[in-house]
Structure formats: C-alpha cells, structure tokens
Amino acid sequence: MLRKTSILLMMLLMSALSSLAGSVRLYESPARGKRSIEVGDMFYIYVEVSDIDGRPEIPSNIGGAKVMYFDHTGQSSRMSNVNGHVTQSTSNTWTVTLRAQKEGTYSFGPITVGGVKSNQLRYTIGARGTGTNNPAGGKNPDNSASSGNTSDKPKFIGKGDGNLFMRASVSESNVYEQQALVYTVKLYTTYDAIKFIGATAAPKFDGFVVEESKAVSSSLDYETLDGKTYATAVIARYIIFPQMTGQLKVIGNTYTVSVDQREYYHDPFWGNMAVNSPLQLNVSPNDLTVNVKALPSPKPADFSGGVGKFTIASQLKSNNFKTNQAASIEYIVTGSGNLKYIQLPDLSTSFPPQLEVYTPKTDVKANVGSSNVSGSVSFDYSFMPLEEGDFKIPSVSLVYFNPETGKYETSTSKEYNIIVGKGKASGKSQTNTRLKFDSGLQKVTFEKLSKDHSPDIYKFSYWLWYIIPFVSLIISVIAYRNYLKSHADMAAFNSRRANKLARRRLRKAAAAMKSDNSETFYDELLIALWGYLGDKLKMPTSELMRDNIKTVLETEGIPEDNISELLDILDRSEFAKYSPASGKAGMSELYDNAIEAINKLEKSFKAVK
C-alpha cells in the first residue's frame, strides 16, 4: 500500500513539474496560397511562447528578408485536472511578417524569452517562379484555409461581398445646374483590421466640376446594416457641381484594400486556434446617376451665378473720408451652395462717379458638411474719393437661385451716406492739371526749316521696319514648330520632366516634415513617388500597381537592387501612413531614401540608353 502511494505522489509531482516547464518554439509559413517562399513573397515566422512571463524582442535582422510587421496575434490557455490537482498552461503567439529579398537557405534563432531558449529555424528562399517545396523545418498553420486565394495579387471582388464592400452616395439625386452636391464613398467591413486603402484612380465625374474634400474618417466607426454589424469609414468625399443638364453619371473607381483575415486551424496540443492572415482585395463602389435640371428662364439680368441660399451684408469702417485717400468697403455673402462661383455686379456703374472703384479682393471660406457646402465669401472693394462733398453709396443686390423654392431670390445690403473732405493733392490730380489744353500756338522759325529732302526709301532705317518683323516672324515660326514637336507626345514630355516634377512634389513633403505634420508628409511623399513612376514609365494611373511597375522596370533593364529599394520605400510609406503606431518617427530617413532612390533610377535610365 505504501509503495502504491509513493508511485502516485511521484506521478503527481512529475505532472506538476512538466506543467511549470516553459517552452519557446519557432516555425514558419509561406504566404497564403503558397507552398514555398520565393523572392518578393510575403512569409511569416511564428514565435510560440508557452508558460513564460515575457515577450520576444522585435527581430532587427533576418537573413534574406525584410521585417515588415511584428504583432501579437494569438493567446490561449489550457487547464487540466488530475485527481483533483488543477494545472493551467498559457500560450502566446507573435507573428513576424517578412518580405523575401534574396534567394538562399537561411536560419533564424535560437532566441531566448524569459531565460528559455527556442529551437533554430531553417528556411529556404527560392528564385521567382521556381516553385520550391515548403522547407521541412516549418509548419504552416494556414493550410486549412489556403485554398481560398491562390495568388499574391489582389483579389477582385467587384462591388464587394458580405465581408467588405463600399457604398457611394450623393446628397441629392435630382438637382439644378450648378447646385452643390456631396459625393461620398463609405467602406463597410467585418475584417479584424484595415492596414491599407489606396485608390488606383479618381472616380469619373463627367459633366461636373470637382473639388476634393479632406473631411474623411480618421478612425473606424460601427454601424448595423440589415442586422449585421460592420466597421465603417468614409474614405473619400468630393464636392461636385453639375455643369450641364440631363442624366449625368458618376462611375466609381477601384480601391485596393489590405486587411487581416482570421483563419482557424486545429492544433493537436492546443486545440482550435486562429491566426491573422494578410489579404488584399480590389473593390469598387456602386455607380450613380444624377438628374440635372436647367435653371428657370428667363434669368435675371443681374444674376450672380449663385445656386443655393445666401444673404449679403456690408461693412464700412467710417462715414468720413478725404479726397485722394484710399478707403474700403467690404461685402460679405454667407450661406450654402456654390460659394466660389458667386460674382457681384459691376459697382463702378452704380457708385457715384466721384468715387473711383477698384477690382475687389476675394476671400472664400467654405466648410464641407455631410450634405452641403456652407461658409462665406467676402469682396473687399477699395475706392478713392476724387472730389469733396456728400455722396451716397447705394445698396448692392445679390440675385441667386434657391433650389428649395425653385425661384430666383434677392438679398440686399445696406446703403451709406458719406462725407468727403479736402485731402492732399495726388499725383493724378497734378497730372490732370498739366494736361490741360493750351490754346496758344507755338511759334515756328522758318529759317530753321530744311530745304533738302531725300526720300525715306533710300535710308537703311526705312528698310529696318521690314527686315526686323520678317526676321522675327521666321524666328517665331521656328520656335513654334520646335515647341509643337516637343509637346506632340505629352507622355514622352512628362517622362523627360519626371525628375523635375518629383522634386517639386517632394518639396511639399519636406514642408510638411518641418511642420511635424506626418499625415500630410506621407500623402505628399506617396504622390511624389507614384507620380514620378507614372510620368517616367509613361503609365496611366489605372495601371500603377506594384507588379506592373516591377515588370516595366525589369524590361527597361533597371538593376534589381534599385527596383527592390524603390518598392520597399513605397511599402514603408504606405504602412506608415495607415499604421497608428508609426507616428512621426522616421520621416527624415524615409524622405532621404526617397530622394536617393529617384536619383539612382535616373542614373540607371541614363545608363541603359
């Protein structure tokens, strides 16, 4: 009996000790839908830490690959009860997302977490298109779900599916010509994380004047639609003004969206588990049709061009003025509608002739809302009194069309009575005095008149009047023909100026970096890089995709190192723009790398010519 008791206690002790023993395990996995790792592919190294209070350090150097992300992607716990003795085991998984850069066989590890050393992981990176089998040292937890996507290219899902789609909308679908509309694109998704959203081109607004709005979402909201909860975000907003009547179409553009897709698999030890797998999708919002009606006829003669609802007010700082001293009066139009297109009548015809009125200075302050454009536009008129006396500045009428009532309406400003006293004489008044007509004839001395006369046709100066215009005409024709020749192929013209245009755009990114505005910096940096590639490679915006750019650069004979460096800068910029953890760090380094990459490409293009 004593022997059996001793054996049972020994088994319990061994079980307790085994439950307290921690472990660190490394394994790798190719990209979803891949059986091997090839140059240019994304692949993953998983760090599984069991029963250890600690976390692995972020790896800085992994052979043959570049570290893209390092995230905590999984956590699980397990409890066991043996004869009333309860033990608990916990496991945490960290995922290192990498992009393969150089073929060969490499090793990673061992690493140490909480004093426990892991195994050494070996993996092989094959050349592009070789189809090397998955190394034996790794374990692919994605096999249970890898059949869903068999390509690294973004998956086109048209107008979307149940997990991700976009909806385009306008504030009104039945409007008048010149009436301001707001076009909004909203993203709906059930995926766990959105890492990148990029548009291949702008929507097609045929028959509209377009202004892009910055009033988009900076974070995700949640909305219930048809009984299902989605994470939502407004990703684009435009203010559009129809310029013609009839049925006008707005065709949605294509967006590339990078998300994390949660995939489940069964582990023999831990049971059912889940990992996040990167997934790229191409999706387009719905197309829209807007019915545009013409403004009622006849239009008032003093119609300002405004379509919306407005009021006009005026401001005059004083009612007492001096001659030849400049003054100003300001007219302020407030309301909602097409503020930028409002024009006031010609005040020089309505003001007294003793007041000289100059061209106004215009200042527009427009705010973009979810359904209209509101704000104010001010017209600051300078004028100068030329004579003394009492004068009246008449009221100014603003005639606009109100879509709500379907009628032309008028708003009137205040009129002013002013007193003009004597001021200092100006240069203009002195000039007018000097230019007064003198009726006295000037005396002529006949002795000073010349009797010798030779025709001008015999003088060289006479022929110069013909020679100079003729030579100027020839030079102008030659210059114009050279201009037409250089601008005949605009794609080639932009290609020659690609470096100059890119540097001009990069100056905006440098200004944003100096002002510590990281959001504007990454926007301007990406615009400069994508714009340079589009101009240099003569590619339309719709074809500016990562794989297309790499293929064209390889065809041009650009070295692989320069191509990889440029694509790496694009990846880092796009990640930094949409990653909440990136912040303002690394902007200077990324800016210098972008300039260096463009310089290298310019040298490579010159070398292959």
Q: How far apart are CA 112 and CA 395, in angstroms?
A: 83
Q: Which of 170, 161, 277 is nearest to 230 (CA)?
A: 161
Number of domains in the chain: 5
CATH number for 565: 1.20.120
pLDDT classification of 479: cutoffs 50, 70, 90:
confident
Percent of the chain with pLDDT over 70: 79
Q: Which of 109, 133, 148 is the last residue of a domain?
A: 148
160 and 261 co-located in one domain: yes
Is 439 a domain residue?
no
- Identity of the highest mean pLDDT range in 2-6, 237-241, 285-289: 285-289
Is 406 a domain residue?
yes
Residue 426 predicted with pLDDT over 60 = no
Is 496 a domain residue?
yes
For residues 121 and 63, the answer to whether their CB atoms sit within 8 Å is no
Average pLDDT of the segment spanning 552-558 = 82
- Identity of the highest mean pLDDT range in 26-40, 131-145, 440-454, 483-497: 26-40
Q: How far apart are CA 30 and CA 277, in angstroms?
A: 11
603 and 574 co-located in one domain: yes
Q: What is the DSSP letter of 587?
A: H
Q: Which of 4-8, 99-103, 340-344 has the lowest mean pLDDT?
A: 4-8
Domain coverage including residue 365 = 302-424
Q: Which of 292, 322, 351 is the last residue of a domain?
A: 292
Q: What is the pTM of this model?
A: 0.43
pLDDT classification of 449: cutoffs 50, 70, 90:
low
194 and 142 co-located in one domain: no
Q: Which of 118-132, 147-161, 320-334 has the lowest mean pLDDT?
A: 147-161
CATH number for 175: 2.60.40
User: What are the φ/ψ torsions at residue 587 (nearest 5 degrees)?
Assistant: -65, -40
CATH number for 328: 2.60.40.740
87 and 109 co-located in one domain: yes
* Bigger pLDDT: 266 vs 185: 185
Residue 471 predicted with pLDDT over 70 = yes
272 and 184 co-located in one domain: yes
Is 431 a domain residue?
no
169 and 287 co-located in one domain: yes
Q: Report pLDDT for 138.
A: 39
- As given in the structure block, the two tokens for residue 285 are 């919002």
Q: What is the pLDDT of residues 10-20, one digit of tens each?
A: 554 444 444 44
Residue 267 predicted with pLDDT over 60 = no
265 and 361 co-located in one domain: no
Q: Report pLDDT for 590.
A: 83
Q: What is the pLDDT of residues 44-64, one digit of tens each?
A: 898 988 888 888 888 878 889
368 and 418 co-located in one domain: yes
143 and 161 co-located in one domain: no
Residue 265 predicted with pLDDT over 60 = no
Q: Report pLDDT for 312.
A: 93
Q: Report pLDDT for 514.
A: 86
Which residues pair with residue 92 across a beta bridge? 49, 75
Q: Which of 124, 148, 172 is the last residue of a domain?
A: 148
Residue 235 predicted with pLDDT over 90 = no
Pairing of strands 271-283, 155-156: parallel
23 and 121 co-located in one domain: yes
Mean predicted lDDT score pLDDT of the chain: 79
Tell me if the bond preceding 296 is cis, omega within 30° of 0: no
288 and 317 co-located in one domain: no
